[in-house]
Structure 1
């Protein structure tokens, strides 16, 4: 079963517009390590995350891989990025690239996770996947969600926004 680690940037993007439930479009276990949860202090994201977690989200930290993740990132604290990458290190499988995935807008986390063999996407990728997988989320609704996320701080260039909206169609 795929483990999908979600970083604070993606939680912020989806949580600001009340769309954290779109993470459920993934076929796997959603993991939001406790330090990632602690990083999400902005409202309404914090409230939306608390409600989403009531559905049973794994918040465990893969302690055995923290030091290795810190060494890779050059950080010496148990921050959100370190815990996400520790999860990737713990669950990656060179024979199965779909064993672990990361949802994040953080470029460093994305590059590192991809280099370690994880599938990587962003909050926009979550919306696109939900539109493709969920017969109840119409492309027009997905386009509105992408635009709302764009208006709440994760600003896209015009080209990227049109690409994200185009992929939904």
Structure 2
């Protein structure tokens, strides 16, 4: 089964507006690593994440990626272990076993690094688009983008236009 690593950026953006359920539209095992979970310290995102983890089969501490942490620290040029390091270490561990892995993050450095190591990468907007593909209405998708922009991920005009365009196109293709 494909693992899907969830990064704090997306968990905070969706958690602030109570839309973590959108993550269940992905086929694969959702994974919240311990360091990532600890980075979600903004309310109500933290409380919403705890409830999400309790009500879904979210994998966390059972992954074997510890041996890849030194390499992830080096690749990211980090001196301290954090959520970004753990995400990249887990990507490295999955890919070393030739297993498929996805990363959902809005952090450019995490996305670029994960992609370079062979992970499939998307961000919060990709989660909303996937939600529209799974059956939420175009209007609900656009509303979610508006709420994310207002409460969490502050979008450039270009990103907001791209998000709206992707949602409209997806809704038309259904």
Query: TM-score with structure 1 length normalisation?
Result: 0.92
Matched, 1:64 2:67: yes
Question: What does residue 94 of structure 2 align with?
Answer: 91
CA RMSD, Structure 1 to Structure 2 (Å): 1.6
The residue that corresponds to 1:151 in the other structure is 150
Distance 1:3 1:91 in 2: 8
Partner of 2:171: none
Segments of structure 2 that go 5 or more residues without pairing to the other structure are 169-174
CA contact (8 A) 2:36 2:82 kept: yes
CA shift at 1:37, angstroms?
A: 0.4
TM-score between both structures, scaled by the size of structure 2: 0.90
Report the Cα offset of residue 94 of structure 1: 9.6
* Displaced runs of 4 or more, over 4 A: 93-96
Q: 1:48 and 2:55 equivalent?
A: no
Residue pairs, 1:54-133, within 5 angstroms: 54=54, 55-60=56-61, 61=63, 62-92=65-95, 99-132=100-133
* Partner residue, 2:162: 163
* 1:26 matched residue in structure 2: 26
Structure 1 CA distance for aligned equivalents of residues 32 and 139 of structure 2: 29
TM-superposed deviation, 1:19: 0.5
Compute the displacement of 1:149 (Å): 0.3
Flag structure 1 segments of 5+ consecutive residues without an equivalent.
none
Instruction: Give the distance between the partners of 1:80 and 1:90, measured in 2 at CA.
Output: 15
